[in-house]
Amino acid sequence: MSEIPQFTAVNLLTGFLGSGKTTLLRRMLADPALADTAVLINEFGEAGLDHHLVERIDENMMLLQSGCICCTVRGELVDALRDLQSRRERGLIPAFSRVMIESTGLADPFPTLSTIKADPVLRHHFRPGNVITTVDAVNGEGNLDVYVESNRQAAIADWLVLTKTDLAGAEAAEALEKRLRQLNPDATVIDVHDEDLSVAALVGSSDATRGNGLQSISGFYCEDSRELVTASGEAHSAAFRSFVITIDHAIDWTAFGIWLTMLLNRHGDRVLRVKGILNIAGEKRPVAIHGVQHLVHTPVHMGGWPSEDRRSHIVFIVDGLDPKLLKRSFEAFAVVSSEPTHGPTPIMRQNR
Ligand SMILES: Nc1nc2c(ncn2[C@@H]2O[C@H](COP(=O)(O)OP(=O)(O)OP(=O)(O)O)[C@@H](O)[C@H]2O)c(=O)[nH]1
C-alpha cells in the first residue's frame, strides 16, 4: 500500500466537448504507474455516461453529476474530495497518491483548481496538480474561434495533448499546434499518437510549469448549465443545453446510423456532442456511439452492460438547438425496433 503523501496532487483533465478526455483517461488508468489514482468524473447533463465508458468501477472512482464542476457542482467537488480523504485516512478505500478529475467539456479550469486552494480542509491535504488539456485536431481551431471555454482550457494547461491527428492530417495538426503555442507558450504540446508519449509523465510534478495561466485568468465563471458569463461579465452568446433520450426498445442500427449521420451533417455546428450506450436489436453487448459536431466516430462494442439497466441512453449537448425538434426527428426516423428491452412501455423519455 502506498504512503499517504502530505499533499496529494489533484490533476485536472480538461478539453472541449468530445476532444478525447475519456479516451485519454482510460489509457492513463491502464498504465500500472497510475494505478493508485482516485478519479472524479464530472459530466454536463443529467445522465452521466463517462464513468461507464471508462469501464473501471471501484470505490476510488466517483461521479459528479448534474452540473458543471466550475460552478453548479463545486460544492459536490469539495464534498467528494473530503470524502476521499476521510475514507483514505480510515483505511476504508485503497490508498491513492494522486487524484484525477475529468471535467466537463465546458468547464473553466480556474475555479475548479482554486476551489481546492480556498477550502479550509482540502488545502491541508491536497494541492493543484497538472492541467492536461485535450485539443481535438479536427474541431480544435473552430472551437478556439467560437468558444471562450476552449481558449481558457488551452491557456491554463500544463500539457496540451493534441488528439485526432490521425483524422485531421499533418497540415491541420501543425496549424493547430502553432496557434496553441501562441496561446500558451509555457505548456508542453504533445500528440496523443506520439510513440514517445508517457501518459504517466502527464501527472508528474507540476511545480516547474504551473502559474502563468492561473494568474492571467480571472473573473470568469460559469453561472449555470445554460448560460455562461465571460470575464467582462457579459452573457455568453452560446445557449448550451444538455438532455438525454432514454429508449426502452432495442434500436434498429441501420435506421439509427442514417439518422445520426444526417443529423450531424445538417446540424453538426449546433449539436456539439452526442454520446450514447445503445441496446441494438440482435446484439448482446451494448454499443457506445460518439458524435462530435460534424464527426461521427466509429461505434464500439463495450465489454458488457455496465449495470442491470438494458435501455439505451443517448446524451446530447446542443448549442441553440431546440431539443423538441431533435426528439421529433428521432421519432420520425423509427429507429426503435419492436424488440423491448425493459418492459413494454414507454418507448422514449426526454429528461429536459
Ligand atoms: N480517431 C480518433 N478518435 C478519437 C481520438 N481521441 C478520441 N477519439 C474518439 O472521439 C470520441 C470522443 O472521445 P471521448 O474520449 O469520449 O471525448 P471526451 O472529451 O471525453 O468527451 P466529453 O466528455 O463528452 O466532452 C470517441 O469516439 C473516441 O473514440 C483520436 O485521437 N483519434
Query: Domain residue spans in the chain?
Result: 8-229, 240-350
DSSP 297: P
Do the Cβ atoms of 135 and 180 come closer than 8 Å? yes
Do the Cβ atoms of 268 and 281 come closer than 8 Å? no
Reported residue count of the chain is 352
DSSP 316: E
Tell me which of 26, 290, 314, 317 to substitute to probe ligand 1's pocket, judged by most ligand atoms within 8 Å of the beta carbon: 290
Do the Cβ atoms of 256 and 249 come closer than 8 Å? no
> What superfamily does domain 8-229 belong to in CATH?
P-loop containing nucleotide triphosphate hydrolases (3.40.50.300)
Q: How confident is the prediction along the chain (352 residues), in pLDDT tens digits per residue?
A: 556 778 999 999 999 999 999 999 999 999 999 988 999 888 765 556 666 666 555 666 676 655 655 555 667 788 889 988 998 899 888 888 999 999 888 888 888 778 888 889 999 999 989 999 999 999 999 999 999 999 999 999 999 999 999 999 999 999 999 999 999 999 999 999 999 999 999 997 544 344 433 333 333 333 333 333 333 333 334 578 888 899 988 999 999 999 999 999 999 999 999 999 999 999 999 999 999 999 999 999 999 998 899 999 999 999 989 889 998 888 887 667 666 665 433 344 443 3
pTM above 0.90, yes or no: no
Task: Give burial (CB, 10 Å; 0-12/13-18/19+) of 82.
Answer: middle
Tell me if 166 CB under 6 Å of ligand 1: yes
User: Atom 6 in ligand 1: which residue has the minimum CA distance?
Assistant: 20
Query: What pLDDT was estimated at residue 256?
Result: 93
Residue 198 CA to residue 28 CA, distance in Å, equals 9
Query: What pLDDT was estimated at residue 200?
Result: 93
Residue 117 CA to residue 128 CA, distance in Å, equals 8
- Cβ of 339: how many Cβ atoms within 10 Å? 13
Report, at the CATH architecture level, how domain 240-350 is classified.
2-Layer Sandwich (3.30)
Query: What pLDDT was estimated at residue 113?
Result: 78
Measured in degrees and rounded to the nearest 5, phi and psi for residue 44 equal: -85, 120
Query: What pLDDT was estimated at residue 202?
Result: 95
The string over 298-335, giving b where at least 16 C-beta atoms fall within 10 Å of a residue's C-beta and e elsewhere, is: ebeebeeebeeeebbbbbbbbbebebeebbeebeebeb
Query: What pLDDT was estimated at residue 46?
Result: 52
Query: What pLDDT was estimated at residue 41?
Result: 86
Do the Cβ atoms of 199 and 163 come closer than 8 Å? no
Asked if the domains 8-229 and 240-350 are classified in one and the same CATH topology, the answer is no
Tell me if 276 CB under 6 Å of ligand 1: no
Tell me if 273 CB under 6 Å of ligand 1: yes
Tell me if 51 CB under 6 Å of ligand 1: no
